């Protein structure tokens, strides 16, 4: 068994959203797949611990917004690493209300789908919802979608703990023999690798973690430098 084989499964990254009463919520998902063509049905997977799961269970509708490759880090941070129980994730973003009443994120979105739940499968830690397609639109035909491989390999982003693809860093460490001086964000799991630096924030490749200015923040979720811990 080699758990790094997982890295060769290809995924996009999406915001899956729903509504219950006046409460809008959404989360970053990589598990969005068309499962039939006639009728058009799309499968999504949600952790039972995910607040949006309870909202979809109550409303029976959801929307999927396909993110563009250049999606801003704050969208990943807000929808991927914060809980909507405490605040309104849609508060500072543009969205529209679809035919089913569900909110559809539009910022950094290149296509969207709106579905009604027709089947559900309990898989233990996660639920799989099959949605019948109610409406869809293509917003930007030429833009490339954000893929999980790009987010992981280029942006050095990590899966949230609730993602089906989350891998316990301890397991990877057990498997990888090499010691490193990398640091990880205790808020979102983002890894700072000195070999790569954080060029988007002006931190050149080769910069040791201790040499990063103290006002530097996690490029994924905005946590402080002091929220990072060394990977032993």
Burial 113-150 (b: 16+ CB within 10 A, else e): bbbbbeeeeeeeebbbbbbebbebeeeeeebebbbbee
Binding to a second copy by residue 89, rule CB under 8 A?
A: no
Q: Do 14 and 67 touch, CB atoms closer than 8 A?
A: yes
Nearest to 79 by CA among 179, 163, 143: 163
Among 6, 86, 91, 170, binds a second copy (CB under 8 A): 6
Binding to a second copy by residue 133, rule CB under 8 A?
A: yes
DSSP letter for 5, please: G
From the list 55-63, 90-98, 104-112, 187-195, the region that binds a second copy by CB under 8 A is 104-112
Among 57, 106, 149, 231, binds a second copy (CB under 8 A): 149
Q: How far is the CB of 119 from a second copy (least distance, A)?
A: 6
Tell whether the torsion through CA atoms of 101, 62, 17 and 139 is positive or negative. Answer: negative
Binding to a second copy by residue 178, rule CB under 8 A?
A: no
Among 20, 23, 41, 156, binds a second copy (CB under 8 A): 41
Nearer to a second copy by C-beta: 21 or 124? Answer: 124
Binding to a second copy by residue 187, rule CB under 8 A?
A: no
Give the up-direction half-sphere exposure of residue 5: CA atoms within 13 A in the CB hemisphere. 3
Binding to a second copy by residue 104, rule CB under 8 A?
A: no
Name every residue whose Cβ is closer than 8 Å to that of residue 65 and which is 6 or more positions away in sequence.
14, 15, 16, 17, 26, 104, 105, 106, 109, 111, 112
Nearer to a second copy by C-beta: 144 or 211? Answer: 144
Nearest to 9 by CA among 159, 168, 119, 114: 159
Binding to a second copy by residue 60, rule CB under 8 A?
A: no
Among 94, 125, 210, 224, binds a second copy (CB under 8 A): 125
Nearer to a second copy by C-beta: 40 or 57? Answer: 40
Helix or strand or coil: residue 98? coil
Binding to a second copy by residue 193, rule CB under 8 A?
A: no
DSSP letter for 203, please: B
Could you give the string, one character per residue 151-170, with x where binding to a second copy holds by CB under 8 A and - elsewhere? ------------xxxxxx--
Binding residues (CB under 8 A) for a second copy: these are 1-12, 30-41, 43, 45, 66, 110-113, 119, 121, 123-126, 128, 130, 133, 135-138, 141, 144-145, 147-149, 163-168
């Amino acid at each position: 068994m080699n758990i790094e084989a997982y890295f060769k499964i290809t995924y996009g990254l999406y915001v899956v959203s729903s509504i219950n009463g006046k409460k809008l919520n959404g989360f970053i998902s990589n598990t969005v797949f068309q499962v039939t063509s006639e009728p058009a049905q799309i499968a999504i997977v949600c952790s039972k611990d995910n607040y949006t799961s309870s909202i979809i269970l109550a409303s029976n509708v959801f929307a999927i917004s396909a993110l563009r490759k250049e999606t801003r880090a704050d969208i990943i941070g807000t929808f991927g690493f914060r809980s909507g129980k405490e605040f309104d994730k849609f508060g500072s973003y543009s969205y529209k209300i679809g035919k089913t009443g569900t909110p559809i994120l539009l910022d950094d979105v290149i296509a969207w789908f709106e579905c009604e739940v027709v089947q559900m499968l309990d898989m233990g830690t996660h639920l799989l919802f099959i949605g019948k397609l109610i409406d869809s639109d293509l917003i930007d035909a030429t833009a490339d979608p954000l893929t999980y491989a790009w987010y992981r390999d280029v942006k050095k982003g990590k899966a949230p703990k609730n993602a089906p693809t989350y891998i316990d860093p301890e397991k990877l460490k057990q498997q990888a023999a090499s010691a490193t001086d990398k640091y990880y964000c205790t808020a979102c799991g983002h890894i700072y690798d000195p070999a790569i630096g954080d060029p988007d924030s002006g931190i050149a490749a080769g910069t040791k973690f201790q040499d990063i200015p103290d006002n530097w923040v996690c490029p994924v979720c905005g946590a402080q430098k002091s929220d990072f811990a060394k990977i032993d």
